[in-house]
């Protein structure tokens, strides 16, 4: 290691890491970038398109070049910025985007072919043969041009999320942010101070300037100690605020364990949703470079970054050779002075401005420009053009200082347009950005330390006043107040390539080409050249690109356009955005009251929305699901079957106007329903289409229980609430869902009455006392409160028995036990489906939002004697004239399969849309019929009984001849369910 004096690293501890398999040393406090430089490593990667050797450019999250793959195996993370990776013992990093070793990348041949790879090359070149794109061109291009590769292994780490609320969020803990947080903290506001760095201080950490005559760290530590002592202040380091969303919501990612070898039991990252009444944006500024010929060699860095490495991390720019500075402002001179103070030899300061003076003991080349560089894998020398001619300087590194761009990103998130500030030659936050977000310090164009401190206090005072709080008097330390005096020198014209966007390999020539191709709006420029895309989002490139474009168009920069930003400010991992769980707990699931019973009794489960329902129960010897389902169906038809139907929605409706309310909600009449009876009900959408069906049970004069389909339990309840609160607020109605409260079990089959009679506590189940469509509260099993409904989905004599959910499990077991001699059989959703298709009952496949009551054969239920939601609209011409009707289908050849989704055609008719006569909605094998059967909507279906038509399945190239039959395959007279 080659360390300078000072710095904020812990030299008492040495930690080890590897880069491309080679072992190096660093200290706590280092980033991977600073440690690599301290070990003399300048070459860290290859460029995106041309595979040019690249080195570290910056010292923060704006880094465009030093993207590495961090960690190994499933934890390998590509495109990690070495400047943001905190060093830990055992860190493993690899360079990216090369074939063969980093110093001999075989794909560097791309650089020789660069004349062919200009912007727009792909769009123009790989046009034919068209079929080659997917198989040949795209894979080859992706292999040649790209960043890191995913491990493609499941992420082994955990992520979580959290919610924070604050009066004031301070984004950035540099001088402006610290002053703002301290003022607000002392005023008693609830403050969150967030910074993406692992230390507080921001740019102060990178500078040698004193505060009140002492090192800045003393002031930072004092402020930190006070903030930590305030219960109303929360400090979040390693936390990037990546976006501003509506209503003062800020997205943040805290890198909880990224600085550790593994997270252990903790999460890797936390996604915070911060709700802040006000926010101070103290995000600082990013230095820009000045494009010149071959300005991308390892060793060429931003001058401010070079200064940061020297002051904070006690390392030079990875070379023992002298260093030069190329600048258009005074800040470049500051870097030269700081480097010299730390013992780094400075060969010269090349200042593009006229009439500048030396600020220290170094060689100054005024009115000079860097016009070329040499060195294959790292900088060896630079060519400088001065007023007296050209000169070559032997240097190992070059710092480039092109001025500072305020980090306006978050202020642009609500389409806030930055405005051009001619004084600082930079975009500063404009009006129209996120409400309540107050820029301060360098991100607002107030870049000197003194200005930033004062501006942070000003912003906090403003925010506090808006919150009704008074800012305390806050003495600020004496600080430097230099101005940079930046000159509008944006690039050095020349014939060789000069990079503007290092990450996307976009050069001044590419921008010129875009201009020539009329891609002049900045939005087109960006997409045509890919400038400003990928992980750095053009933080070091965008404004420079605008300036180059302005020069080409002969317009000013603000006339040329502005650059705005969308979230996220820096790359955010999908893992942390997803948060929570993967696998079984990826989303919540709902279990029926008999779930555990079903699991213990051979059930296979199926997802029905969030519910897990038993699909069928496999018995020993059954090798195919059809064996199980056929057995279950026949058991219901011959004896008695049991099915958990708890998932059907249940809504308790009470109130003096409950009857009127339901009469307006259902298309059919409900007012005439007697207490103790159930009625099948049809709900329509407001446009008249069928919406949902279910039952309505009247438990008392003013008390009903409405059931819905499983899928629509939520939406129907929501619609009922809407009707109650908004459509008819004058009605006295109270609603509440009871879906989960009652375990409901269908007891279906000719022996169902016999089975139930063994459980009820003296309740008369006779047909006379408890006829079809009756309902009653009762007790069972020695006093358990229950509700009994005599309703049937299967077409058999059937009941639904409801008990408090906690007893569902025991009830199922008891029914099985008590019904053993009756052949009691549990059945799942598959058998449920077969039974209802055999009976011709409509379900979700028929109620798909495009069908009407008339189509499903319930047209007469839509009452014309009253108004209800959708009734009038159902009579409009377009719906009333609908001729497709629900019919049954049976294959002419009994071994053929009826395929749901098939479309219906008259025999001999062309198989095209013009001759389409309907479609098959549901189909199943019917053990009762002995063949496959289906339900379908068929044109003029009522008058086509017995006709043989074609069911075409063009997706699979098959066709089946089917006979049109009534939709009731079982007991069309309905005698069984009334037995």
Partner 1 sequence: MPDLSPLCALGAATPRRVTHGALTLTETPECGLASLALRRDTPPPALDLPGPGRWQAADGLTLIWTGPGQWLVELPGAAETDVAATLVKKVPGASITEQTDGWVLIEIASSAGAAPIERFLERAANIDQARFGPGSATRSPIEHLGTYVLRRAEDRLGIWGMRSAAESLWHALDTIAGRLDSRG
Binding residues (CB under 8 A) for partner 1: these are 158, 160-165, 190, 256, 264-267, 273, 275, 580-581, 585, 587-593, 595-596, 610-611, 646, 652, 654-656, 732, 734, 736-743, 779-785, 804-811, 814
In terms of phi and psi (left: phi > 0; alpha: psi -120 to 50; beta: otherwise), the region of 535 is alpha
CB nearer to partner 1: pick between 265 and 554: 265
φ, ψ (nearest 5 deg) of residue 488: -75, 70
Handedness of CA 539, 289, 7, 55 (dihedral sign): positive
810: buried, middle or exposed (CB in 10 Å: 19+, 13-18, 0-12)? Answer: middle
CB of 442 or CB of 759, closer to partner 1: 759
Q: Name the minimum Å distance from CB 161 to partner 1.
A: 7
Cβ-based nearer residue to partner 1, 521 or 610: 610
In 10 A of CB 806, how many CB atoms? 10
Give the shortest CB-117-to-partner 1 separation in angstroms: 47
Instruction: Tell me whether residue 741 or residue 948 sits nearer to partner 1 (CB atom).
Output: 741
Nearest-5° angle of CA 870, CA 871, CA 873? 65
Q: Which is nearer to partner 1, 353 or 814 (CB)?
A: 814
Residue closer to partner 1 (CB basis): 264 or 849: 264
Residue number, 388 or 587, with CB nearest to partner 1: 587
Q: What is the DSSP string of 951-972?
A: EEETTTTEEEEEEEE-S--S-T
Which CB, 450 or 662, lies closer to partner 1?
A: 662
The terminus-to-terminus CA distance of the chain in angstroms comes to: 93
What's the CA gap between 18 and 21, in Å, rounded?
A: 5
How far are the Cα atoms of 67, 563, 649, 673, 801 from residue 34, in angstroms, in the given order? 14, 31, 62, 81, 72
Nearer to partner 1, 356 or 658 (CB): 658
Min separation Cβ 272 and partner 1, Å: 9
Residue 476 CB, shortest distance to partner 1, in Å, is 29
Task: Using the minimum distance from each CB to partner 1, give the nearer residue, 813 or 873.
Answer: 813
How far apart are the C-alpha atoms of 146 and 47, rounded to whole Å? 8
CB 783, min distance to partner 1, A? 5
Helix or strand run (H / E) with residue 525: helix 522-529
Query: Minimal distance in Å, beta carbon 228 to partner 1?
Result: 15
| CA distances in angstroms from 595 to 784, 794, 849, listed in the order given | 21, 22, 31
409 to each of 80, 286, 418, 828, how far by Cα in Å?
21, 11, 9, 56
Cβ-based neighbours of 283, under 8 Å, separated by 6 or more: 171, 172, 407, 409, 410, 443
* Contact indicator for 204, 312 with CB cutoff of 8 Å: no
Compute the least distance from the CB of residue 781 to partner 1, in Å: 5
As measured in angstroms, the least distance from the Cβ of 742 to partner 1 is: 7
CB of 736 to partner 1, least distance (A): 5
Element (DSSP H or E) covering residue 99:
none
To the nearest whole angstrom, how small is the minimum distance from the Cβ of residue 395 to partner 1? 48
Minimum CB distance to partner 1, residue 273 (Å) = 7
Q: Round to whole Å and give the CA distance between 232 and 190.
A: 5
Strand, helix or coil for residue 178: helix
Measured between alpha carbons, how far is 372 from 374 in angstroms, rounded to an integer? 7
The answer to whether the CB of 80 falls within 8 A of the CB of 269 is no
Rounded Cα distance, 633 and 926, in Å: 8
Residue 266 Cβ vs partner 1, minimum distance, rounded to whole Å: 5
Q: Give Cβ neighbours of residue 914 (< 8 Å, ≥ 6 apart).
A: none
Neighbours of 153 (CB within 10 A): 10
Beta carbon nearer to partner 1, 389 or 729: 729
Lookup: tokens for 350: 């090349």
Q: In the complex, what is the shortest distance from the CB of residue 194 to partner 1, in angstroms, rounded to a whole number?
A: 15
Residue 99 zone, left/alpha/beta (φ > 0; ψ -120 to 50; rest): beta
Tokens of 450: 């003194």
Q: How far is the CB of 570 from partner 1 (least distance, A)?
A: 23
Short-list 30, 9, 453, 439, CA closest to 209? 453
**Tokens coding 898:** 């009826």
Residues found in the chain: 979
Report the candidate in 672, 667, 295 with the shortest Cα–Cα distance to residue 491. Answer: 295
CB of 613 to partner 1, least distance (A): 11
Cβ-based nearer residue to partner 1, 528 or 807: 807
Q: CA 168 → CA 430, 458, 490, 827, distances in Å?
A: 21, 14, 38, 58
* CA distance linking residue 572 with residue 255, whole number of Å: 10
Cβ distance to partner 1 smaller for residue 131 or 726: 726
Nearer to partner 1 (CB atom), residue 190 or residue 458 = 190
CA 49 to CA 300: how far, in whole Å?
A: 19
**CB of 476 or CB of 658, closer to partner 1:** 658
In the complex with partner 1, which residue's Cβ is closer, 523 or 581?
Answer: 581
Nearer to partner 1, 189 or 936 (CB): 189
As a whole number of angstroms, the distance between CA 409 and CA 243 comes to 9
> Residue 334: which of 317, 351, 318, 320 has the closest Cα?
351
CA distances from 396 to 70, 208, 345, 499, 661 (A): 27, 23, 10, 19, 84
Nearer to partner 1, 97 or 712 (CB): 712
Residue 702 Cβ, how far from partner 1 at the closest point, in Å?
8
């Amino acid at each position: 290691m080659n360390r300078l004096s000072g710095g904020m690293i812990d030299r008492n501890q040495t930690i080890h890491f590897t880069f491309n398999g080679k072992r190096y040393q660093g200290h706590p406090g280092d980033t991977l970038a600073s440690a690599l430089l301290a070990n003399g490593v300048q070459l860290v990667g290859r460029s995106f398109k041309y595979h040019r050797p690249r080195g570290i450019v910056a010292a923060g999250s704006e880094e465009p070049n030093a993207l590495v793959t961090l960690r190994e195996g499933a934890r390998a993370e590509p495109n990690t910025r070495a400047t943001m990776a905190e060093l830990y013992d055992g860190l493993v990093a690899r360079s990216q985007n090369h074939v063969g070793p980093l110093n001999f990348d075989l794909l560097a041949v791309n650089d020789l072919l660069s004349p062919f790879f200009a912007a727009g090359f792909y769009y123009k070149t790989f046009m034919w043969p068209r079929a080659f794109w997917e198989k040949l061109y795209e894979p080859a291009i992706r292999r040649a041009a790209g960043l890191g590769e995913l491990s493609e292994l499941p992420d082994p780490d955990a992520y979580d999320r959290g919610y924070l609320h604050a009066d004031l969020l301070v984004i950035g803990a540099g001088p402006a942010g610290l002053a703002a947080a301290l003022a607000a903290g002392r005023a008693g506001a609830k403050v969150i101070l967030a910074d993406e760095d692992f230390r507080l201080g921001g740019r102060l950490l990178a500078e040698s300037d004193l505060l009140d005559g002492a090192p800045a760290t003393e002031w930072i530590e004092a402020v930190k100690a006070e903030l930590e002592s305030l219960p109303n202040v929360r400090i979040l380091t390693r936390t990037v605020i990546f976006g501003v969303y509506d209503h003062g919501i800020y997205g943040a990612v805290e890198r909880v364990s990224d600085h550790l070898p593994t997270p252990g039991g903790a999460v890797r990252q936390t996604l915070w949703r911060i709700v802040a009444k006000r926010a101070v944006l103290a995000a600082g500024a990013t230095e820009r470079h000045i494009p010149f010929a071959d300005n991308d060699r390892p060793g060429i860095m931003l001058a401010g970054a070079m200064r940061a490495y020297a002051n904070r991390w006690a390392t030079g720019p990875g070379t023992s050779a002298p260093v030069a500075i190329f600048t258009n402002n005074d800040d470049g001179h500051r870097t030269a002075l700081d480097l010299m103070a730390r013992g780094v030899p400075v060969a010269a300061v090349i200042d593009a401005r006229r009439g500048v003076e030396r600020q220290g003991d170094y060689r100054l080349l005024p009115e000079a420009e860097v016009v070329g560089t040499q060195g294959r894998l790292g900088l060896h020398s630079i060519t400088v053009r001065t007023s007296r001619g050209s000169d070559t300087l032997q240097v190992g590194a070059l710092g480039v200082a092109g001025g500072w761009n305020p980090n306006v990103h978050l202020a642009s998130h609500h389409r806030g347009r930055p405005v051009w500030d001619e004084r600082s030659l930079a975009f500063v936050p404009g009006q129209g950005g996120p409400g309540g977000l107050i820029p301060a310090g360098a991100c607002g164009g107030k870049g000197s330390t003194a200005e930033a401190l004062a501006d942070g206090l000003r912003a906090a005072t403003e925010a506090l006043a808006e919150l009704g709080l008074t800012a305390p008097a806050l003495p600020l330390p004496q600080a430097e107040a230099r101005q940079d005096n930046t000159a509008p020198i944006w690039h050095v014209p020349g014939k060789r390539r000069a990079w503007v966007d290092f990450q996307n390999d976009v050069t001044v020539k590419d921008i010129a080409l875009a201009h020539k191709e009329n891609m002049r709006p900045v939005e087109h420029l960006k997409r045509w050249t890919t400038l400003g895309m990928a992980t750095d989002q053009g933080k070091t490139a965008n404004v420079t690109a605008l300036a180059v474009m302005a020069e080409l168009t002969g317009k000013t920069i603000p006339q040329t356009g502005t650059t705005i930003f969308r979230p996220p400010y820096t790359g955010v991992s999908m893992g942390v955005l997803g948060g929570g769980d993967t696998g079984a707990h990826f989303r919540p699931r709902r279990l029926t009251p008999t779930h555990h019973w079903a699991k213990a009794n051979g059930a296979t489960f199926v997802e029905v929305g969030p519910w897990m329902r038993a699909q069928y129960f496999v018995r020993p010897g059954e090798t195919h699901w059809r064996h199980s389902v056929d057995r279950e169906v026949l058991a219901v038809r011959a004896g008695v079957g049991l099915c958990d139907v708890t998932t059907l929605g249940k809504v308790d409706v009470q109130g003096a106007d409950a009857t009127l309310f339901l009469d307006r909600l259902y298309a059919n009449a409900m007012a005439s329903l007697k207490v103790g009876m159930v009625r099948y009900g049809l709900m329509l959408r407001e446009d008249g289409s069928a919406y949902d069906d279910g039952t309505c049970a009247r438990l008392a004069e003013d008390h009903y229980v409405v059931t819905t389909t499983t899928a629509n339990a939520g939406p129907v309840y929501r619609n009922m609430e809407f009707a109650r609160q908004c459509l008819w607020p004058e009605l006295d109605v109270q609603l509440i869902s009871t879906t989960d409260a009652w375990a409901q079990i269908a007891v279906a089959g000719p022996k169902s009455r016999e089975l139930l009679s063994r459980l009820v506590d003296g309740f008369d189940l006779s047909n006379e006392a408890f006829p079809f469509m009756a309902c009653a509260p009762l007790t069972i099993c020695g006093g358990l409160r229950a509700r009994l409904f005599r309703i049937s989905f299967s077409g058999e004599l059937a009941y639904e028995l409801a008990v408090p959910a906690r007893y569902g499990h025991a009830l199922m077991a008891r029914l099985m036990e008590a019904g053993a001699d009756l052949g009691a059989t549990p059945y799942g959703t598959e058998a449920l489906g077969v039974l209802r298709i055999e009976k011709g009952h409509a379900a979700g496949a028929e109620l798909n939002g495009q069908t009407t009551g008339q189509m499903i054969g319930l047209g007469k239920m839509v009452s014309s004697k009253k108004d209800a939601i959708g009734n009038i609209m159902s009579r409009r011409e377009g719906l009333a004239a609908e001729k497709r009707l629900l019919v049954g289908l049976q294959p002419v050849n009994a071994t053929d399969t009826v395929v749901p989704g098939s479309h219906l055609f008259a025999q001999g008719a062309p198989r095209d849309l013009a001759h389409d006569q309907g479609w098959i909605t549901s189909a199943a094998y019917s053990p009762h019929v002995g063949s496959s059967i289906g339900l379908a909507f068929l044109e003029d279906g009522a008058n086509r009984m017995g006709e043989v038509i074609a069911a075409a399945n063009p997706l699979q190239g098959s066709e089946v001849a089917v006979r049109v039959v009534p939709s009731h395959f079982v007991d069309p007279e309905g005698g069984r369910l009334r037995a």
